[in-house]
Amino acid sequence: MFKNLFSWSKRVKKLDPDKIPEHVAIIMDGNGRWAQKRGLPRTAGHQKGVQTLKEICYACGELGIKYLTVYAFSTENWYRPTSEVNFLMELFKKAMRNEIGELEENNVRVRILGRRQGVDPDILAEIDRVEERTCKNDGLILSICFNYGGRAEIVDAVKKILSKYHFHESIDEEYFKEFLYTHGLPDVELLIRTGGEQRLSNFLLYQSAYAELVFTNVFWPDFTKKDLVDAIYEFQNRERRFGRIGKV
Ligand code: IPE
Ligand code: IPE
Ligand code: MG
């Protein structure tokens, strides 16, 4: 235990406290392969993945990250076998129900981002409950992307704008952001994908325009707060240019 504590603080010490990313986003991938490697059903990986999310969420708080946005279920994940989709729906519902107390205690504000259409009313009720119960918390803002697609989000934003305005002069990039599910959140600075794939899979397309991407082969259920620190370390050692010449 002491060894663990020691290696954690040693790792954190290598970070520059003035350059902690404000907004970290994670594509939590590799649950199925994690389970299959152990001869377990894919669902066991999803179950373990919930524990990982808890650990990472509190580590983000400790590190001073203000916004954590995670990808839990995509608009394309409905095309998986019904048994897996049903399991994921139940797991999401149960996780929200079971974790609400701890999230409240830890001052975490939860937002669920995605399309409500097509989601079971039971789940929508849990979403409303968790958002309402945590809305006054002013610690970490945890946004969980559920029934989320980056393209769907942009299309939905356009629809909202069209239903409100008949002119377009005032619409610019900053203003457009306020119509996305992520309204109020700053751009993603660091985007981590676990599980070895190097793609966005329709995640935060607008918000990640200048995010630093960090890919790791670690499957999500095995991802630890040490891996998180390593990803932040890599972020801190990148040169961000935003199209300019030299460091910004
Ligand atoms: C990510 O893990 C979780 C969801 C997409 C719900 P996967 O289920 O995609 O796991 P792999 O990528 O098949 O291993
Ligand atoms: C992205 O992972 C979605 C989530 C992690 C929720 P996928 O496993 O669905 O992505 P692909 O199919 O490998 O692109
Ligand atoms: Mg996957």
Tens of pLDDT, residues 4-24: 666 778 889 999 999 999 999
Q: What one-character DSSP code corresponds to residue 180?
A: S
With residue 161 as reference, give the H or E element that holds it.
Answer: helix 150-164
Report the length, in residues, of the chain: 248
Going from the Cα of 85 to the center of ligand 2, the distance in angstroms, rounded, reads: 13
The structural domains of the chain, ordered by start, are 19-236 (3.40.1180.10)
Within 10 Å of residue 68's Cβ, how many Cβ atoms? 22
Residue from 16, 18, 29, 217 carrying the catalytic annotation: 29
Pocket test for ligand 2, best of 46, 74, 85 (most atoms within 8 A of CB): 74
Question: For the chain, how far is it from start to end, CA to CA, in angstroms?
Answer: 41
29 is an active site residue: yes
Mean pLDDT of 180-192: 98
Higher pLDDT, 166 or 222: 222
pLDDT tens digits, residue range 145-157? 999 999 999 999 9
**How does residue 223 score in pLDDT terms, banded at 50, 70 and 90?**
very high
pLDDT tens digits, residue range 55-104? 999 999 999 999 999 999 999 999 999 999 999 999 999 999 999 999 99
